[in-house]
Chains A and B, each alone.
Chain A
């Protein structure tokens, strides 16, 4: 879902770049609370893993492929602020080194993937966590459902940008139907990869997982 240059006009791209920049700045502050000596390297590994898996396009329908977005995965592993930073670094490197995603569209893509997909994942994951038992398997399942919905949410966010500032005149409702329809299918792949990856980290180092230790950490007894 890396937007090339030219799809969306420059004023709209600049406006979303400004919003994304505010979100990234807030995340630089917010990430401090969730990152310590142990979890900061996990956040680096999460960004690295997302870069690697974003190279692995899987077929979803005739002539269409999709790849991991990684927003739900990062949100559950390292929290929403570090997730926004991780996704933004991946998008920056992809645009600068690999010509994947337009430079003028970077703010648009960052808004959709590093901010909308992350906070949709956060809202769904922690809503489900309140209902579900506090086990590893329900943590992985909640991550999967958050992943499933985060992808069409990011796609819908692109359609909003298209509606505001597209350089083409095709109907917004046609674009919305096609984008959401395709990205629900990609979301299924997203959910499976997310469940597998969150499950693997829970099995080896559950103490590092933000979405699993979150409640416990807030009840931690501290020495004065």
Chain B
């Protein structure tokens, strides 16, 4: 597969997973949260400093439709991660023509 097609397919798959499939994710507490509840130390958790942020808990503030809210948050997250990480990796990479 050509590099360009490969990267586009992977990016589109990520957009689909975070933008559409994420709505169907389990909302049960994750492993650490569940253990903290069962054993009792969950009460020591403090509220997240960004808890009032526009994208807190993977939802867009003000969007009431749950499917739309989580989907949009996922799409924003995928684009942000894609841009920032690819930018960083392109910066640290070995430039073509230089020694390993």
Contacts and interface: CB of A to CB of B under 8 A. Distances in A.
Given A5-B48, A32-B93, A44-B89, A98 B39 contact: no
A14 interface: no
B35 A178 contact: yes
Interface string B66-97: 00001001101110111011111110111110
Interface in A193-221: 204-205, 208
Interface in A102-132: 102-103
- A contact patch SS: helix
Contact of B89 (A40, A53, A97, A166): A40
Range, interface on chain B: 35 or more
A58 B31 CA distance: 11
Given A56-B22, A64-B28, A93-B81, A45 B11 contact: yes
Nearest to A85: B88
A98 B77 contact: yes
A99 B53 contact: yes
Given A175-B35, A182-B34, A56 B94 contact: no
A53 B10 CA distance: 12
Contacts of A94: 77
Interface of B: 1, 3, 6-7, 9-11, 13-15, 17-18, 21-22, 25-32, 34-36, 38-41, 43-51, 53, 55-58, 70, 73-74, 76-78, 80-82, 84-90, 92-96, 100
Interface of A: 1-7, 28, 31-33, 35-45, 47-49, 51-53, 55-60, 63-67, 82, 85-86, 89-90, 93-103, 155, 158, 162, 166-168, 170, 174-175, 178-179, 182-183, 185-186, 204-205, 208
Q: Which 9 A-B pairs have the closest CB atoms?
A: A44-B86, A168-B41, A47-B85, A6-B46, A52-B18, A65-B26, A99-B56, A35-B93, A40-B93
